[in-house]
Amino acid sequence: MKKVWLVLGSLGAMAAAMGVVQSTDAAGKVTPAVDNCMNAHAVLAASKGGDSAVIWQAIDGVMRVRPHWAKVSDYEPMVAQKISFRQYSVKWGEGITAYVAHCGHGGTCNQLAEAVLKAYPDIGSPVVYCGQVPYFLDNPSSASI
């Protein structure tokens, strides 16, 4: 999996350079949103030419061992523990795909990002955003999770 997910560190650096986040932690750290965020978006992984099914399967494995989290088609603002997933292309990054969780509670997305990083330490540095979906993400599609 390491080879597939190497792009995420670069994606976080690109986001910081574009002013999407104020600061990023070193590789292997989650950059969290505030826990009380009502519209959180966790960029869990990114790949260039990677196998999306393999990445979604890995994220699903993290979800399965935490039955208090529910996969839903659309998250609801201010509702914790319910998570929806989408796959995006990354603007200005030809062939890069981002794997994103959407939560109505920032703490839920923060916990998921930490759990994914713990299960797959070579993933890079997941970033959780509060507010609108980051503008560098484009063409959302449903996730195979």
Per DSSP, the residues of 1-38 read -HHHHTHHHHHHHHHHHTTSSS--PPTT--BPPPTT-S
What are the pLDDT tens digits along the chain (145 aa)?
A: 444 444 444 444 444 433 333 333 445 899 999 999 999 999 999 999 878 999 999 999 999 999 999 999 999 999 999 999 999 999 988 899 999 999 999 999 999 999 999 999 988 899 999 999 999 999 999 888 8
* Measured distance CA(129)–CA(109) in Å, rounded: 9
Per DSSP, the residues of 106-133 read HHHHHHHHHHHHHH-GGG---EEEESSP
- pLDDT value of position 28: 87
Main-chain phi, psi angles of 31, to 5 degrees: -95, 105
The model's pTM is: 0.83
- pLDDT value of position 93: 86
